[in-house]
Amino acid sequence: MANFKPELIEKPLVNDHFAEDLAMCGPPPPSSFTVTQLIISVLARFYSPKSDKELLYKNPLFYHRLIEAQKFAYAQRTLLGDVNFVKSAKALAENMTTKGYTDWVFERMKNRAQPSEYYGGTTQAQKSDHGTSHVCALDAEGNGVSATSTVNRWFGAVVQSDKLGIVWNDEMDDFSSPGMANGFGFAPSETNFIVPGKKPMSSMSPMLIYDKKTGDVSFSF
């Protein structure tokens, strides 16, 4: 803990092909931005900004495609890890932001659900989540902020500081342990095993969407 330092990402991952005039960027793994951007990129192939939202919300096929895109994207998460320790994760994350990768997923999308192995990895249902909050903000100057705070599960590590009574988190559970599922029931992933100084994979997916020509921020997530 004493040796931990926050890391400034000078070159975030960028997807500049999902929309004509917009691009989205976010940090590399252990962030899950690369997972979230792929879901958006695939759905953008089916629906344009001019699509009637009221009709989409009533269309079962829209929800099916959303779920299928999530399966393809999340299946790759088991291969991701802190890019400072897992070099293959960096290459995979960069590949997942390319037009070619979106093409590959789009071409494999079907109107019926497929076996788990079809999506390229192990898919698992998300169990109840607790102890996490997120805030997004844009100001009049065009700055955008996307911030997440979490203690992970209920009451975090079930330990509080003596002086201030702050509940400590149990983010160590975001790592994988050989032969053991984590607190959410997810099977272990070798690229996410514990190593000194390594950051665990996270489902947090901070993202900024901005105008490709002007650089002005349009959305923060």
List residues forming the annotated binding site: 150-152, 174, 202-203
Per annotation, catalytic residue among 122, 132, 148, 214: 132
Handedness of CA 125, 153, 25, 90 (dihedral sign): negative
DSSP state of 176: B
| DSSP-derived secondary structure for 46-103 | H--TTS-HHHHHT-HHHHHHHHHHHHHHHHGGGG---TTT-HHHHHHHHHHTSHHHHH
123 is catalytic: no
Work out the burial of residue 81: count CB atoms within 10 Å of its CB; fewer than 13 is exposed, 13-18 middle, 19 or more buried.
Answer: buried
Whether the bond into 30 is cis, omega within 30 of 0: yes
Give the tokens for residue 53: 């939202």
For residues 145 and 135, what is the distance between their CA atoms, to the nearest angstrom?
A: 8
Both tokens of 75, joined, read 């299946």
Compute how many other C-beta atoms are within 10 angstroms of the C-beta atom of residue 173.
17
Question: Binding site for L-glutamate, residues?
Answer: 150-152, 174, 202-203
> Distance of CA 174 to CAs 4, 123, 215, Å?
17, 17, 34
Q: Which residues are catalytic?
A: 132
